[in-house]
C-alpha cells in the first residue's frame, strides 16, 4: 500500500514538473517555481524512502566501491611487483660487488704471500752470495790452524776466538757445516775428489774431508770435497799366488 502511494506521489510530481517545463518562462510565476522546487525536494525524499531505489543506490555504491577497490589492489600489486624487481636487482648487484671484493681480497693476500716468498728468496740468495765469499776466509782460517798445530800462543788464541765468534754469527744466519767424515757418501752433499782403500772404514764411506761443505737454511751452499773409501781389489793376491806357483 505504501509503495503505491509513493508511486502516485512521484507520478504527480513528474506531471507538475512536465507541465512547468511546457510553460513559457514569462508565464511561470514565483509561486509555481517554489511549488516545483518543493515537489522536486519531496521527490528526492521519496526516492530515499523507496526501498527499490535505495537498493539500487546500494548496489551502485557497492559496485563502485568494488571497482575502486579492485583498481587499488591492481595498483598495489603493480607497486609490489616493481619493488620486488628492484629488490632482486639490488640483491644481485650486492652479490656481484661482494664476490668482487672477496676476489680482490684473495688476490691481494696471494700477492702478499708471493711478494714475501720472493723477498725471502732474494734475501737467501743475497746471503748465499755473501757467504760463498766468506767461506774462502773460513778455509784460510782452517789452513792456518792446521799449519800452526801444536804451537799455541796468545796471538793464535785471539785468532781462534775471532774465528769462533765469526762462526757463531754465521750459524745464527742459517749456516751449518755438512757432516762428512765417516758418513756414507751422499752425492747430494759430497763431492768425491779421490778414493782410497781402507781396512778401518767401510767401502762407500767418506774417509777424509779435503774441504768442508756448508748449507744455509737447509739449502746447499757448497758440497764437501771428500775422499771416499773404495772396495778392496781381492784379485791381486790370487794373481801373485799363481805367479809364485
Distance, CA of 20 to CA of 22 (rounded, Å): 5
224 in a domain, yes or no?
Answer: yes
Encode burial over 61-98: b for 16+ CB neighbours within 10 A, e otherwise: eeeeeeeeeeeeeeeeeeeeeeeeeeeeeeeeeeeeee
CB contact set of 229 (below 8 Å; sequence gap of 6+): 195, 196, 197, 198, 201, 202, 203, 204, 205, 206, 207
The pLDDT value given to residue 218: 80
Distance, CA of 150 to CA of 109 (rounded, Å): 60
Q: Scanning the structure block, which residue is given the C-alpha cell 758440497?
A: 223
221 in a domain, yes or no?
Answer: yes
The continuous run of DSSP H or E covering 116 comes out as helix 51-147
Query: Of 22, 42, 71, which marks where a domain is finished?
Result: 71
Distance, CA of 97 to CA of 108 (rounded, Å): 16
Phi/psi of residue 162, each to 5°? Answer: -65, -40
Query: Of 71, 93, 109, which marks where a domain is finished?
Result: 71
The pLDDT value given to residue 223: 93
3-state secondary structure of 152: coil
Q: What share of the chain is helix, strand, coil (3-state, %, to 5)?
A: 70, 15, 20
Query: Of 31, 55, 71, which marks where a domain is finished?
Result: 71
The pLDDT value given to residue 228: 93
Which residues span the domain enclosing 6?
Answer: 2-71
10 in a domain, yes or no?
Answer: yes
Each residue's pLDDT tens digit in the chain (245 positions)?
444 554 555 565 556 555 545 544 444 445 555 555 565 565 555 555 455 666 666 677 777 777 787 888 888 888 999 999 999 999 999 999 999 999 999 999 998 999 888 887 777 777 777 888 888 888 888 888 888 777 777 788 888 899 899 999 888 888 899 999 889 999 999 999 998 988 787 888 999 999 999 998 788 889 999 999 988 776 555 444 444 44
Question: Nearest Cα to 223, choosing from 238, 206, 235?
Answer: 206
207 in a domain, yes or no?
Answer: yes
228 in a domain, yes or no?
Answer: yes
Cell of 189: 752433499
> Considering its fold, how many domains does the chain have in total?
2
240 in a domain, yes or no?
Answer: no
Q: What angle do CA 90, 94, 98 make, to 5 degrees?
A: 175
Cell of 29: 510565476
pTM here is 0.48
Q: What is the CATH number of the domain that holds 193?
A: 2.30.22.10
148 in a domain, yes or no?
Answer: no
85 in a domain, yes or no?
Answer: no
End-to-end CA distance of the chain: 169
The pLDDT value given to residue 27: 44
Amino acid at each position: 500500500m505504501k509503495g503505491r502511494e509513493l508511486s502516485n506521489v512521484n507520478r504527480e510530481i513528474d506531471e507538475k514538473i512536465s507541465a512547468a517545463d511546457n510553460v513559457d518562462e514569462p508565464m511561470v510565476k514565483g509561486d509555481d517555481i517554489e511549488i516545483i522546487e518543493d515537489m522536486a525536494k519531496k521527490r528526492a525524499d521519496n526516492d530515499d524512502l523507496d526501498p527499490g531505489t535505495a537498493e539500487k543506490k546500494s548496489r551502485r555504491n557497492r559496485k563502485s566501491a568494488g571497482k575502486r577497490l579492485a583498481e587499488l589492489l591492481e595498483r598495489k600489486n603493480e607497486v609490489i611487483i616493481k619493488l620486488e624487481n628492484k629488490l632482486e636487482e639490488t640483491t644481485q648487484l650486492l652479490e656481484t660487488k661482494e664476490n668482487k671484493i672477496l676476489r680482490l681480497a684473495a688476490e691481494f693476500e696471494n700477492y702478499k704471500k708471493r711478494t714475501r716468498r720472493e723477498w725471502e728468496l732474494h734475501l737467501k740468495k743475497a746471503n748465499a752470495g755473501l757467504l760463498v765469499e766468506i767461506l774462502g776466509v773460513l778455509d784460510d782460517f782452517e789452513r792456518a790452524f792446521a799449519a800452526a798445530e801444536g804451537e799455541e800462543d796468545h796471538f793464535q788464541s785471539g785468532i781462534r776466538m775471532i774465528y769462533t765468534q765469526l762462526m757463531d754469527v754465521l750459524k745464527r744466519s742459517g749456516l751449518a757445516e755438512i757432516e762428512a767424515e765417516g758418513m756414507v757418501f751422499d752425492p747430494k752433499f759430497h763431492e768425491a775428489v779421490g778414493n782410497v782403500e781402507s781396512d778401518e772404514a767401510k767401502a762407500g764411506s767418506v774417509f777424509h774431508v779435503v774441504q768442508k761443505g756448508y748449507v744455509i737454511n737447509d739449502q746447499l751452499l757448497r758440497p764437501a770435497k771428500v775422499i771416499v773409501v773404495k772396495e778392496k781389489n781381492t784379485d791381486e793376491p790370487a794373481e801373485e799366488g799363481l805367479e809364485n806357483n
